[in-house]
Structure 1
């Protein structure tokens, strides 16, 4: 088997790292030596180093669509990051770079282009994020998750692959998940998450509704770093986590229904596991609206129930949760008929075809 070297990059949130982790075992079994470039102190550093993958940290500045005083200084960090990435790639000489997006990837992709190294990017959302918009002119291919995305990608670079799902996700054990959460089988379980960084809006809505919801359900709540409510620590039937890593597959398997933001990686995992879900996409006031498009696409296909932030309060939340649970079979049936498959094989194929031999 030929040994090739791949340099992966992606960061800023777990959503830009998790798909890379899904690809790594398959890349290794396909003969690739895997290394990683990320920011010096981003969430990706800790996640990747736990996987014992060689990690290179570079200077990175955030790419913003709004005014911030840091917009005047961060371009210099990006330029320094370009220099850092160029030196790393020149020394390591990978056969290909795989970029998952996030602000740290732009200097890496440009440095790869300068080093004549092919680049495959992946976009999870329907519309490309700013990092991938800037990177695509220097990429060989851009893998996309939604069919709707292909119409906005130029130069025939778009390839519909779906998103890579971690294979261990399918080996979760419901009983083990309940044991981790110290719950029994008396009530159905709602699994609630607000993205890798947590959502204050979802956290507050859940906690305001808690007494009513706990009459019928157990609640497992991933609330984000620093968002544990100490006053609710001993609330019977309510389990809080800042974040779950190794046991997530078991905890998700224990869920009867899910409430979540609408990041593409998460909703494709719910689809793969056939978990009926209520999506509360990030508002247009604080995002570019990509989660709303993701959610509406899944709603149209019958996989998800959707409610936007502006329409939500504690009474509507309780009502929607009950409605979702009562109609869960309808959503499971739609997900079972879905033509969408795990994107692992297709992405590995694109990487293999693009690798500098």
Structure 2
């Protein structure tokens, strides 16, 4: 199996650790919807990435390309199309991202997490499959995580998923209220690459750039999650029945897809939602308290949800396309 990603992204560190997967880094440019001086340089990075991806694909001669979207996927999709390789893309969010919108004319099929997304794509290419949840996340050992972290078995655990460039606001907010939060919770904070703060050496507070093999154990131990509202993560929390406080990226910093994801989950009774524009010291602490207070209600509602792991279906589609 071969994986093409960015030259310096965190996925390089994560994927390179997987046996049997060969990683190839290419130049990438972010696809921004707002003015930034980098918008002048990045199209040239994308062009460079297209030629790099095309060269890699021509050499590897894959039977099929599977893309999850994101700005790094555009050069790979175009490189695959140039080499006449069949391409599948997976759209996780309620509405297609810019990368997948660019990719759509060049792909064989687009797999959807939300059935409503069909209205935004070519219906002939669209296939609803539901959420894809990593099976290994269901095998977590809470006791193992508790021992590793040195946490008490009697105090609830709050998991903060702040590990991305767009989650700086969450990281800052959580850290500014650590003393208050630690009165009620033990906290595992996934804060992203280069964001660990060594000065915050407090009992009951464990911070990591990210977790890979240990994530399943930590999730098994978790009572409440604070997170952005990316589709992949929130469907995993739903499958694991983890009450959520979702703070989606604002429309100023995104196309608004996370807001739609979070509203859909809140309407279904799986979470509380706090928009970033409404995020203050008072609203944040009240929202955290409300999620913990209502956690049992959320869990019972999530148990009624029809969340099927469609990994086997995706693999079957990939195999059929490869033939």
TM-score by length of 1: 0.85
Which blocks of at least 5 consecutive residues in structure 1 are unaligned? 1-33
Match for 1:74 among 20, 25, 42? 42
Asked if residue 305 in structure 1 is aligned to residue 272 in structure 2, the reply is yes
Contact 1:189–1:256 under 8 Å retained in 2: yes
Match for 2:121 among 132, 143, 153? 153
CA RMSD, aligned part only? 1.7
Asked if residue 341 in structure 1 is aligned to residue 312 in structure 2, the reply is no
Shift of the 197–77 alpha-carbon distance from structure 1 to 2, 3 Å rule, reads closer
Structure 1 residue 155 displacement after superposition:
4.3
Deviation string 1:12-43 (CA, Å, 9 cap, x unpaired) is xxxxxxxxxxxxxxxxxxxxxx1112222222
Asked if residue 238 in structure 1 is aligned to residue 215 in structure 2, the reply is no
Contact 2:10–2:193 under 8 Å retained in 1: no
Contact 1:180–1:251 under 8 Å retained in 2: no
2:24 is paired with a residue of what secondary structure? strand
Asked if residue 36 in structure 1 is aligned to residue 3 in structure 2, the reply is yes
Deviates more, 1:274-283 or 1:334-343: 334-343
Shift of the 319–198 alpha-carbon distance from structure 1 to 2, 3 Å rule, reads same
Deviation string 1:202-237 (CA, Å, 9 cap, x unpaired) is 12222232222222221222222232333321x222
2:252 is paired with a residue of what secondary structure? helix
Deviates more, 1:267-276 or 1:87-96: 87-96
1:122 is paired with a residue of what secondary structure? strand
CA separation in 1, counterparts of 2:6 and 2:198? 32
4+ long deviations beyond 4 Å: none
Contact 2:108–2:125 under 8 Å retained in 1: yes
The count of residues paired between Structure 1 and Structure 2 equals 322
Contact 2:66–2:89 under 8 Å retained in 1: yes
Structure 1 residue 327 displacement after superposition:
1.6
Match for 2:158 among 166, 174, 190? 190
CA separation in 1, counterparts of 2:162 and 2:26? 28
CA separation in 2, counterparts of 1:237 and 1:335? 28
